[in-house]
Amino acid sequence: MRKFQFRKQLLLTASALLLAVVGVQAVTIEPVPGFSYIGKTYTFSTSDDDPVVLTINGVPVTRSEFEYAYNKNRDIEGAVEQKSVREFAEMYIDYRLKVAAALDARLDTVAAFRQEFRANRDMQLTPFLVDTVFIDSIARLQYKQIETALAGQDMLRVAHILVPVPQNAPADVAEAAKQKADSLHAVLKAGADFAEIAKRHSSDPGSARQGGLLPWIGPNSTVKEFETTAYALQKGEMSQPVLTQFGYHIILMKERKALESFETLRSQLIQALKRQGIEEASMEHRINQLVAASNGSLTREQVIENVMREEVDGRPELKYLIKEYHDGSLAFEVTKLKVLDPAAKDADALAAYYKKNKKNYQWDEPRFKGFVILLKDPSQKKAVQKILKKHADGDWRAELKKTINRDSTQVFVTGPYLAKQGENRYIDYAVFGKGDVKGPARFPIVETYGKLLKKPSSYLDVKSLVISDYQDVMMKAWLEELRAKYKVEIHEDVLATVNNH
């Protein structure tokens, strides 16, 4: 089936726009000492105005950094609600201990982590590297292209209804399409609402949903017959059915206007460019300029580092935001490595933990564990159940396809389920005897294969709960190890001044 395409792209993509040569003055950034990402940790200067509240493994945490974390998390529902500064300090120490463990494990040197961190850092720094002169020049270039394409003619906003005519359609098919188009046109002439007729009868789905409305068009932006007819209409006028390579169109002129000045459209053009990623493109353009202006003494990474040093001075929220992403990612990765993944994958440990704590995983009502079977023919029930019994833990779908559903779908099986009453209407009907339900028209007979359990048969029946609890146990033990391994100092006098100085 052919796609109906009226518009040609009048706007250049962001990448194509970058090919334009624009003159922007280069600015050299000199290295500035201070905050920097150096591959292992961040360094911060401290002062009497920003004393150290915690020291963890020799790394100081200033009061401003601690306040940033405390105040930010205090607003997250359920995070540190109703927790005192002292209570939060214990949570924060655990977090910083994870970061220390990650740094010792050199997770910050992993290429994937460094790449992800730099991408996030660059995103935070984009506003400080945006070159407004560059963006404005691209917007002007875009405007000039539109102006050239219009060649002094109006821009048009039209709605249309399409009655398709297939390529090489027989005469009777083409004639039927013409009669339908003429009939719709007559209905519209009699006063029917154009948008409603378009929604119900137009075969251009994209515009039909909008009542037939198309985006703004100009010269050479659609097929010639459509364009010629549209340009002959005035606002509010409707065309006779016009034939193009796609079929018959009924066109309604909604609005037409001359191209406004660049100053009028500048804001719209720049917003459209931002949606295409022009700010990121502008950032790369500016970075390349700075690298070139340094005569080879600076790399791209060094340029960004220098910009970061300049911009975080006096902007603690930016400094801590970048650091938070860096340290938070490390804390997650080391936790995943040391606790989350090992706990989730150790089947023997999970089984042993469940056996020891069975009383914590009892159900207050039974569950059905098994499959739902929808059938055409009740005589197929036993054959399906036999397959599920033999292949329940294997590829029962392939076995059904090879046997019963070989030529066409004769039975429909879903599962496995572990469901209590009220969670599945078919199970409610077939197992719990509740409701009066039938399968869909093709498979009206509802059966099941499985068993009703009053309590879990193994940890697998409550696996997610067991994993979560076992992870908590491992987490507690790991944090105790970290507290024994790394020195933690709490400067109580400074802690007492948090949010109170």
Domain boundaries, the chain: 153-257, 363-454
Q: What are 11-67's pLDDT values in tens digits?
A: 222 222 222 222 222 222 233 233 334 343 444 455 568 899 999 999 999 999 999
Instruction: Give the CA count within 13 Å in the CB-facing half-sphere of 317.
Output: 2
Q: Which CATH class is domain 153-257?
A: alpha beta
Q: Which residue has the higher pLDDT, 300 or 33?
A: 300
Region 125-136 average pLDDT: 90
Looking at this protein, which amino acid is placed at residue 105?
A
How much is the pLDDT for 48?
65
Alpha carbon distances (Å) from 55 to 141, 320, 354, 477, 488:
55, 17, 39, 22, 6
- List Cβ neighbours of 259 (8 Å cut-off, separation of 6 or more): 146, 147, 150, 155, 265
What is the pLDDT averaged over residues 130-134? 90
* Distance linking the first and last C-alpha atoms of the chain: 71
Compute the mean pLDDT over every residue in the chain, rounded to the nearest whole number.
Answer: 87
Q: Is the pLDDT of residue 313 over 80?
A: no
pTM: 0.67
pLDDT at 77: 58
Non-local (6+) Cβ contacts of 247 within 8 A are: 162, 163, 164, 165, 177, 181, 203
Closest CA relative to residue 443, chosen from 351, 380, 388: 380
Span 364-413, pLDDT tens digits? 999 999 999 999 888 999 999 999 999 988 899 999 999 998 888 889 99
Residue-wise pLDDT tens digits, 185-222: 999 999 999 999 999 999 999 999 999 999 989 998 89
pLDDT, one tens digit per residue, over 212-230 is 999 989 998 899 999 999 9
Question: Among positive and negative, which fits the CA dihedral 224, 225, 226, 228?
Answer: positive
Q: How far out from the chain centre does Cα 34 lie?
A: 35
Q: Is 70 exceeded by the pLDDT of residue 76?
A: no
pLDDT in tens, 325-353: 999 999 999 999 999 999 999 999 999 99
Confidence of residue 4 (pLDDT cuts 50, 70, 90): very low
Determine which of 18-22, 179-183, 222-226, 471-475 has the lowest per-residue pLDDT on average.
Answer: 18-22
H-only helix segments in 105-164: 111-129, 132-150
Q: What are phi and psi of 190, to 5 degrees?
A: -80, -5
Share of the chain above pLDDT 70, in %: 89
One-letter-per-residue 3-state SS of 157-195: EEEEEEEECCCCCCHHHHHHHHHHHHHHHHHHHCCCCHH
Closest to 96 in 3D by CA, of 42, 46, 47, 50 = 42
